[in-house]
Structure 1
Amino acid sequence: MEEKPSNGIKGLKHWRYDLGAGLQVALVSLPLSLGIAIASGAPPVTGIVSAIIAGLIFPFLGGAYVTISGPAAGLAPALLSGMLLLGGGDLAAGYPLVLVAICLTGLLQIILAFMNAGRFAIFLPVTVVEAMLAAIGIMIILKQIPLLVGDLSPVAPTSVDSIVKMPQTLINIEPVVFFIGALCLFLMFYLNATRHQWMRRIPAPLFVALLGLALATAMGLDADYLITMPESILEGGITVPAFEEMFNRPELWVSLLIVVITLTLIDGIESLATIAAVDKIDPFQRKSHPNVTLRAMGVSNVLSSLAGGLTIIPGGVKSRANIDAGGRTLWANFYNAIFLIIFLMLATDIISMIPLAAVAAILIYVGWRLCEYRVFKKTFTIGRDQMVIFLITVGAILLTDLLWGILIGMVAEVFMLAYLLTPSFRAVLTGRLTFSQSVELVVRNFVGLFHNPIIKVRNDIRDGREHYEIYLGSLVCFNLLPLDKLLQQIPEDASITMIATESGRIIDHTAMEYLHHLQEESLRRRRPFELHGLENYYQFTQHSLSARMHDAALVRREAQLSARAAEMREVAQRHGLDFNPATLAILDPHGFVYLRRGDRKQERHVMTGRYRDCDVKVFDYSHTAAPDYYAEHLHTLVVVRLPEKGPELPDMVLAPGHYLKRYLVDYRELDPPEASGFPEGYRIYSRRSDESALASAGHMRDFLHRYPGVYLEVRSNALLVFRPDRELETPEGIEELLEVIEHCLEDSPSPADDDVSDADPAEEGAS
């Protein structure tokens, strides 16, 4: 689409998509909001109140596009701890007091947003943030197990207490409650993992809540094990913050400050992380504004607290549901709120029949997704150094609390970097360094972690545009801010070259993610961007974003090729192609739709060169994608750039079945002629006129018949082809995919310039 969907009044023209998405989000949001409130130690209705306020406010303040805001499970442990701290162990007494903390948190967020504080998030090591989320997942599971088995004893104040209390909890199992909870938990895992689309039409949380309701009714479950809802929402469902009590009790002010700092820190970290993750799966590839979103969350939190609601942040689960349902703008939040109001007005009695065990099952699944074993596996793949930081942070959070755990994780990151830069004590023992020299070197390296990484900047004119050449030393999370500030001052149309110099000692994982983000942003803005010097830095692991240390000798040492690398190198040599076994973060210069989706996108075993008069690139590609954010998907891809004097093909996608349909927002689906002999089950999507696209697709007919199941995409006269039902191709399979060139170089029609349709293809049913 020439014009991407925008928020505000202009976004109302997409009401058909947002209205349907809002309904589906509300069906997911209802049981989740109830569960989050229960996990926070607050009355269940407060979760729905929070979601309603978020939906009514967020669309008017903007900052994102398809993100759904509301109460989030990530803050439930912090809210529960805050209530216990401020209430002296009494949740009922602590709830009105924690509302004061939420209100102050919102005001602080508004101030931070106007100070452009979102940029300071780059100081936080990526691994510490991910460890925080994993620890939150573990805390959610520990707190919900008692409700799953029917233990209604007072909640344990800390994670350690929850673990100590676990044997007693298992003794107090109520068989009926446990049966309902266990069945609901099994279905949460099964329904979210099944490949049967008909089983996923009803959101899993809603199905589990309704099943729990039916079982609780059939088995006559006691009211103590059901959700408690007020008879009147306006009279008994709204609690106001206890400002006067807090003002008159100075002994609580230090505790209040701790709760506010904790909520602000976690709310900010998780909000920024969530909108960044949602941007990556936005079919329209729009960019959210972190500080505007932070301000919107601040206003929402103030209003939520005044109505007795919980903290509000962008939610990953609900945002995913919104995208899958076709939501296009923030108005989906508004419609979600309207539907929740309707549910609250008409279905309060039904909601009060849902068993706590079913809600606990939903939250345990949410917690598991934050801390499952693949989270640990992914961190270990990035590097053992990151695994150490990850485990230290998780352990510190569980043994103390979220605020202290994050601070301990950051201190551990500092010491890890300092240790990596510290010379071996053998250098002192062997006389290569004196003790004073080694101490001086340690101090210098430690200070360098916080020193400006920019060595010098050169400004000139290159290829008719302004060009900046930036020389860098060591680059880590703690000194990224000066570089980020410099980049914000450079004109958007200027080209950039970054050079990691030999004077740099280390580039950590967070800095590697930052540099890759710069590459992707520059590619999206069509800004020339080059990164040099990394070839002299030794990678800790084969992961493209692992930390690196400057060591040219290690880099030059010949690496032992794996069996797959040797196999791919042989194919490259047979066809006269260059081969690179390294693992790299992939870029998408052609704008292929397939390469937009997912996260952690990497290429390895890359073959490049000329093949049959075309520029080709063959590589093993991996990425993660929702809902399995830590499961790696593998395919072998072939990219072909057709010669300039050859046939010009229109942008189109030939996909088996409905594969990738929701991402084809700027394409329209075409119906092939009945007599065309086009393979059954294949779908044709195009951005140009029907005739040219159908004619070009016809040239691929024999290829698709010969190799069924192939996905083929044409973008900017470049082709991408692979088989979604296979992982890594054999050498023979690669040869088969390369045959697509023969079909493309036949006399394909060249679409006329005036064939481009002015209609909005998405409005005609593309998604």
Structure 2
Amino acid sequence: MNLKDLKKDLPASVVVFFVALPLCLGVALASGAPLFSGLIAGIVGGVVVGAISRSPLGVSGPAAGLAVIVLAAIESLGAFETFLLAVFLGGLMQVLLGVMRAGILGYFFPSSVINGMLTGIGLIIILKQIPYAFGVGGVELAGDSLTATLSAFFANIHRGVLVITLISVALLIVWETPIIKNNPVASRIPGPVLAVASAVALHLMFIPFDLLRLSEAQLVSVPVASGLGEFFGQFTLPDFSQLNNPAVWTVAVTIAVVASLETLLSVEAIDKMDPLKRTTPTNRELVAQGVGNSLSGFIGGLPVTQVIVRSSVNLQTGARSKASTIIHGLLLLVCVATLPTWLNTIPLGVLAAVLILTGYKLAKPALFKKMWDNGAGQFVPFMITVLGVVFTDLLTGVGLGMAAAIFALLRRNYLNSHFLHKKEDTEQDNRPRISLQLAEEVTFLNKGAIRKELSEVPNNAHVIIDKQNCVYINHDVAEIITDFVATAGTRGIDVDIIERSEISVKRAEKQRLRIAA
């Protein structure tokens, strides 16, 4: 942390704070938990996890991806205090995973899946914020058909919210142009902060006008405590008498596994987007998340993970170090404790505008074209991940994308195990000559391809099996070749095997040492 970075981290932290505040409340609402528990998780994720973690840009807090799990867990356990015990235990398990160096699992996710996850999340952000951008969030729009639902949607559009959203989007777009970025004065004011300030001013101006006046449902809603005692009274302790409840341990394991996977995916994604290309130590990150979850559960908060949305906003608004994360957590604490009434004047429309543009940056059309240009091996897992994340949930989408990526890898491995050269001309005795050159690595996955090629060799052919480039050959494949050589004579087939020479072995060893150095 240094002064030069702090000049960028401080305004970025303000933007992240404005984005995190409604998200903390929204996740708590979707989880069927007290709204204050979402704020506790946001504060712990910012201050505690931010202080322990070495992720320069990652922001932690309550995650929408866990909302369904939390909702089901609270219902199954029967009491929120019992659920808090599961969060506390899940955090301890995450610390153990970090100590056991399980963070390496995050490195096994291919870029096509990570890009697909980011794009899917971007699309979800846009879709989820559309109702709030038009002022119909929380309004019952169910109809007998899609046409009826759309008609109800357009009939309930709020003019005041729509004006605020459009002006906010326009400000945010203008603030991304070179004219503003090259202006030494204007560039110091973050676009989202200006948009929020303008939205609050418009909300106050609209109060005298019936058609434009915003209702409480269209504004941020933070619980207001009448005094310090009531504020601290909103904290809740876990029910430790349920330690012998097997259901608690089941939920704890689920939280530990899901929160760890979401964190590792987020770390990989944010590190990939980091303009300075820094690398987060994933084992340390798991320990930080574990400590954060244990503390959050102990004082009445929801489980935390490193989250894509807030981390992306943090990056997009110019943050350079984890000071931004910590400061945003402190801002949450101070404002929730002292200024809840003022916070409740922020329209949800401006927050929707910020999130919609953030979602667009994650799901730019140019990214689809780039993945298409990279070939089917990249595009198919990417699209499967995108569709899976949008139409199911984060983990299911990533799982489907990983399955597609593994299938593409196995197919490529199957095809690249060898190179078959069939010459059109024949030898002097009119015998066909077939050359089978084995690749550098030949595993059991290549058995089918090699067996197929050998079984299709015509009778009375001359077969050359070239193993000069082969560093490793699986025992099963070696047996297939041995069996083929043993039975080739019965079909009039002559087989020559070119073994790996000492010269090529030494050359490969020198290359390996050079790469290692």
TM-score by length of 1: 0.47
Counterpart of 2:350 in structure 1 is 358
2:409 and 2:148 map into 1 onto residues whose CA distance is 35
Matched residue SS, 2:59: strand
1:309 and 1:390 map into 2 onto residues whose CA distance is 31
Contact 2:171-2:195 within 8 A present in 1 as well: yes
| Equivalent AA in structure 2 for residue 196 of structure 1 | I
Contact 2:24-2:41 within 8 A present in 1 as well: no
- Sort the Cα spacing of 1:316 and 1:225 in 2 relative to 1 into closer, same or farther, 3 A: closer
1:53 and 1:347 map into 2 onto residues whose CA distance is 19
Which of 86, 103, 106 in structure 2 is aligned with 1:118?
103
1:23 and 1:44 map into 2 onto residues whose CA distance is 27
Q: Does 1:311 find its partner at 2:304?
A: yes
Contact 2:262-2:306 within 8 A present in 1 as well: no
> Which structure carries more relative contact order (alpha carbon 8 Å, separation 6+)?
2
Which of 265, 271, 286 in structure 1 is aligned with 2:267?
271
Which of 179, 187, 201 in structure 2 is aligned with 1:200?
187
Map Cα deviations across residues 80-137 of structure 1 (whole Å, 9 max, x no partner): 3334444669xxx998787566545433321211111121223222211221222122
Map Cα deviations across residues 12-54 of structure 1 (whole Å, 9 max, x no partner): xx4x446545532331122111132244244776665444333
Contact 1:86-1:256 within 8 A present in 2 as well: no
Counterpart of 1:235 in structure 2 is 230
Counterpart of 2:502 in structure 1 is none
Which of 387, 390, 399 in structure 1 is aligned with 2:391?
399
Matched residue SS, 1:228: coil
2:18 and 2:123 map into 1 onto residues whose CA distance is 20
- Sort the Cα spacing of 1:253 and 1:49 in 2 relative to 1 into closer, same or farther, 3 A: closer
Q: Does 1:190 find its partner at 2:174?
A: yes
Matched residue SS, 1:107: helix
Counterpart of 2:54 in structure 1 is 63
* 1:577-592 → structure 2 map (5 Å cutoff): none
Once the 2 structures are TM-superposed, how far is the Cα of residue 211 of structure 1 from its aligned partner?
1.6
Once the 2 structures are TM-superposed, how far is the Cα of residue 352 of structure 1 from its aligned partner?
0.7
Once the 2 structures are TM-superposed, how far is the Cα of residue 55 of structure 1 from its aligned partner?
4.0
1:28 and 1:323 map into 2 onto residues whose CA distance is 10
Counterpart of 1:217 in structure 2 is 204
Matched residue SS, 2:176: helix
2:147 and 2:45 map into 1 onto residues whose CA distance is 34
| Equivalent AA in structure 1 for residue 170 of structure 2 | F
1:175 and 1:366 map into 2 onto residues whose CA distance is 23
* 1:246-395 → structure 2 map (5 Å cutoff): 261-275=257-271, 277-278=273-274, 280-281=275-276, 287-307=279-299, 308-309=301-302, 311-313=304-306, 315-319=311-315, 321=317, 323=319, 330-331=322-323, 333-395=325-387
Once the 2 structures are TM-superposed, how far is the Cα of residue 387 of structure 1 from its aligned partner?
0.8
2:249 and 2:70 map into 1 onto residues whose CA distance is 14
Counterpart of 1:529 in structure 2 is 515
Gaps of at least 5 residues in structure 2 are 208-213, 421-432, 435-441, 450-469, 475-508
| Equivalent AA in structure 2 for residue 184 of structure 1 | S
Which of 126, 151, 158 in structure 2 is aligned with 1:174?
158
Matched residue SS, 1:230: coil
Counterpart of 1:445 in structure 2 is 446
Q: Does 1:413 find its partner at 2:405?
A: yes
- Sort the Cα spacing of 1:21 and 1:396 in 2 relative to 1 into closer, same or farther, 3 A: closer
Map Cα deviations across residues 420-474 of structure 1 (whole Å, 9 max, x no partner): 45569xx9xxxx99xxxxxxx99733899xxxxxxxxxxxxxxxxxxxxx95799
Contact 2:46-2:61 within 8 A present in 1 as well: no
Once the 2 structures are TM-superposed, how far is the Cα of residue 292 of structure 1 from its aligned partner?
1.2
Contact 1:137-1:367 within 8 A present in 2 as well: yes
1:473 and 1:31 map into 2 onto residues whose CA distance is 57
Map Cα deviations across residues 385-431 of structure 1 (whole Å, 9 max, x no partner): 2111111122223332222222222222222233345569xx9xxxx
Gaps of at least 5 residues in structure 1 are 1-10, 434-440, 449-469, 475-495, 500-526, 532-767
Contact 2:87-2:252 within 8 A present in 1 as well: no
* 1:483-502 → structure 2 map (5 Å cutoff): none
Counterpart of 2:428 in structure 1 is none
How many residue pairs match? The answer is 418
Contact 1:35-1:362 within 8 A present in 2 as well: no
Counterpart of 2:45 in structure 1 is 54
Counterpart of 2:126 in structure 1 is 141
| Equivalent AA in structure 1 for residue 515 of structure 2 | F
Which of 8, 20, 23 in structure 2 is aligned with 1:36?
23
Once the 2 structures are TM-superposed, how far is the Cα of residue 195 of structure 1 from its aligned partner?
3.8
- Sort the Cα spacing of 1:214 and 1:368 in 2 relative to 1 into closer, same or farther, 3 A: same
1:378 and 1:352 map into 2 onto residues whose CA distance is 42
Once the 2 structures are TM-superposed, how far is the Cα of residue 358 of structure 1 from its aligned partner?
1.6
Higher strand share: 1
Map Cα deviations across residues 42-75 of structure 1 (whole Å, 9 max, x no partner): 47766654443334324653534x3353337xx3
| Equivalent AA in structure 1 for residue 215 of structure 2 | D
CA RMSD of aligned residues (A): 4.5
Once the 2 structures are TM-superposed, how far is the Cα of residue 192 of structure 1 from its aligned partner?
3.1
TM-score by length of 2: 0.67
Once the 2 structures are TM-superposed, how far is the Cα of residue 208 of structure 1 from its aligned partner?
1.8
Higher helix share: 2
Contact 1:177-1:357 within 8 A present in 2 as well: yes
1:379 and 1:101 map into 2 onto residues whose CA distance is 41
| Equivalent AA in structure 2 for residue 134 of structure 1 | T
